[in-house]
Amino acid sequence: MWLSAVLICVFPVISATPFNRQWEEDMSVRHSWLELPRGWRRLSSPSPNHTFDLHVGLKQHRLDVLISDLLQISDPTHPRYGQHLTKEETEDLVKPHPDTLDAVEDWIISHGINSSRFHYPTGGQDHIDLRVSVAEAERMLNAKYEFYRHKSSGDTILRTMSYSLPRALQPHIDVVSPTTYFGTTRSMRSTSFLQPEVQPLDALEPIVQPISDTVRSSSCDLINTPACLRDLYNTTNYEPQAMDRNRLGIAGYLDQFSNDADLQTFESKFRPEAIGFTVPTVQINGGRNNQTEPGIEANLDVQYGVGISYPTPNVYYSTGGSPPYIADSQTPMNTNEPYLDWLTYILAQPTIPQVITTSYGDDEQTVPVDYATRICNLFVQLGARGTTVFFSSGDFGVGGGDCFKNDGSNRVEFQPGFPASCPFVTAVGGTTHVNPEIGVNFSGGGFSRYFTRPAYQSGPVSQYLVALGDTYAGQFNPNGRAYPDIAAQGTGYQVVVGGHIVSVGGTSASSPTVAAIFSLLNDVRLSQNKSTLGFINPLLYSTAVPGLNDIVSGSNPGCQTDGFTAKEGWDPVTGLGTPNFSRLRSLISG
């Protein structure tokens, strides 16, 4: 049933289409702008000899088979549960149809571009990267490239207002970039923020001594430290054993760098037994690692990944670049992160971390649907290879800004977030306080407009919608993929930045916390010579429910409304609830 529910992510089987030079006489516009997107102005024309990298994403031929395999190996009741695919097996399933590869290659060659310039970054050969001149790209795409400058950020990009493809190639190509998708690399949105109203521990003094148990126990309702979180989610007494086989990955963007010195200070203050433990940085596509500019977001992610999962190895990915973008009122500049660059890199690796967390997100409507679909399908490959992918659900409740749709209608609707809305990732919402925990008011949650609701969610989400009734009718898609899936504390995190503690909040904090807990659960399974958990959503919505703390109060206002309300069972504020490690450990050890 679920396979039919996500056909928006799957493209039709490609039939044979022999190369025909008459294609060039039958060009069809793939996308065009009637007017320049808001915030941009034309700057100048590039030299015809100016070169740039063109990405041509090809249709993945057996994606439906890969999705079917993923669902089987992720279903705890299926005989294939836990039998993850190898890199080679996943690549074989996403290889384009031979006719697709031949047609696209012949089309490119017909423009005088030698095949020696083709680069296939992954073994699946599902996309071609090639360095082209402006003149070559304009001939291929019937386009006119210009330099454009963003008025607020000052960033300059190379784009075209319109581009076309031969009509016979339209079924063979998913994405061509850069073309008409305007964007800037600055001001991308991370899902964290400083909380000056939460008095940090030792805010103004250099950190010298570890915090006492007395301070921990008296302050955990207002602030969060590794000790608070380990106690709340029952990981304190677990000692990892499979450090040689287990890794936690943290994906970072926006020129965010984890500071090594700050990590050591954090360890001395909050996890003294981890002093000397380090996290390597992998730099991708121009990602930097400037130790003189510690990033709050990166320090948060790394410090709490280590603070909870220690001594499990962690790795930080610093990724540069920028993907396609469509502006809306909440995201006036390109806040999309370069998922494509990072995914291309990680999928090409022979081994990848068993858990990966990302604390960034965008309004779904600012991400072109073809780009979002392509990215969502790439997450299928990670899950099939046994990796659990967590994304923070966002910090704007049901939507920030004026919540106007950017299709010209000026309708006000709830704004779901991406990639949290992708059904192949696990979205993490936020909570606050203890005894009891409640849904925090900024926790992103809602229903996708791009992706339909997967079968693994049908029961719990349907129950919520029945209880909701006609409330907010027309402001969200009741048939969409619902998120978040799970939640964790999202306020008062004590983070060391530049040698001092600051208080940080956001689902950016929730996601690495949950990721570290599930990394420990993978340690449990690996130490028992079992497979990793991989794509966990089917597990969460079935046999893992007793291992979660149901959150029954709180709401996520936005778009000039009170937003959704947390209740018993699944809800669009906290998902299924927060993790209880000891109970989950028993459930996944059986």
The CATH number that applies at residue 296 is 3.40.50.200
* 288 and 168 assigned to the same domain: no
Q: Residue range 421-439: average pLDDT?
A: 97
For residue 22, what pLDDT is reported? 52
Q: Counting beta carbons within 10 angstroms of the beta carbon of residue 546, is it exposed (0 to 12), middle (13 to 18) or buried (19 or more)?
A: exposed
In this structure, what token pair is assigned to residue 376? 């969502």
Task: Say whether both 166 and 215 belong to one domain.
Answer: no
pTM of this structure: 0.87
Stretch among 227-241, 280-294, 514-528 having the lowest mean pLDDT: 280-294
Last residue of a domain, one of 149, 177, 205: 177
Residue 188, in any domain of the structure: no
Q: Which residues are catalytic?
A: 297, 301, 508
Residue 348 buriedness (CB in 10 A; 0-12 / 13-18 / 19+): middle
Q: What is the pLDDT of residue 182?
A: 66
Q: Give me the pLDDT at residue 218, please.
A: 58
Query: Quick one: 303 and 399 in the same domain?
Result: yes
- On whether both 164 and 204 belong to a single domain, the answer is no
H/E run at residue 307? helix 296-309
Query: What is the predicted pLDDT for the residue at 339?
Result: 74
Q: Which residues carry a binding-site annotation?
A: 550-551, 569, 571
Boundaries of domain holding 41: 2-61+96-177
Q: Could you tell me if residue 81 is inside a domain? A: no
Confidence category of residue 230, pLDDT binned at 50, 70, 90: very high
The residue that leads in pLDDT, 88 or 334, is: 88
Average pLDDT of the chain is: 86
535, part of any domain: yes
254 and 306 assigned to the same domain = yes
Domains: count for the chain = 2
Is 205 among the domain residues? Answer: yes
Same domain, 49 and 12: yes
Lowest mean pLDDT among 144-153, 300-309, 316-325, 479-488: 316-325
Residue 36 in this model has a pLDDT that exceeds 80: no
Angle of helix 87-94 versus helix 369-384 axis, rounded to 10: 150
Please indicate, yes or no, whether residues 335 and 478 belong to a single structural domain of this protein. Answer: yes
Pair 367, 223 in one domain: yes
Residue 188 has pLDDT above 50, yes or no: no
Same domain, 209 and 167: no
Let me know if residue 123 belongs to a domain: yes
**Residue 127, domain member (yes or no):** yes
d(CA 331, CA 325): 10
Q: Which of 283-292, 379-388, 398-407 has the lowest mean pLDDT?
A: 283-292
Token output for 363? 């309004």
d(C-alpha 274, C-alpha 228), whole Å: 17
Question: Do 427 and 523 fall into the same domain?
Answer: yes
| Element of type H or E holding 317 | strand 314-319
Regarding whether 142 and 281 lie in a shared domain, the answer is no
The predicted model gives 328-336 an average pLDDT of: 42
- At 20, list the tokens: 């025909």
Task: Tell me: do 254 and 120 sit in the same domain.
Answer: no
Point out the least confidently predicted range of 89-93, 109-113, 217-221. 217-221
Q: How far is Cα 499 from Cα 265, in angstroms, rounded to an integer?
A: 7
pLDDT classification of 364: cutoffs 50, 70, 90? confident
Binding residues for Ca(2+): 550-551, 569, 571
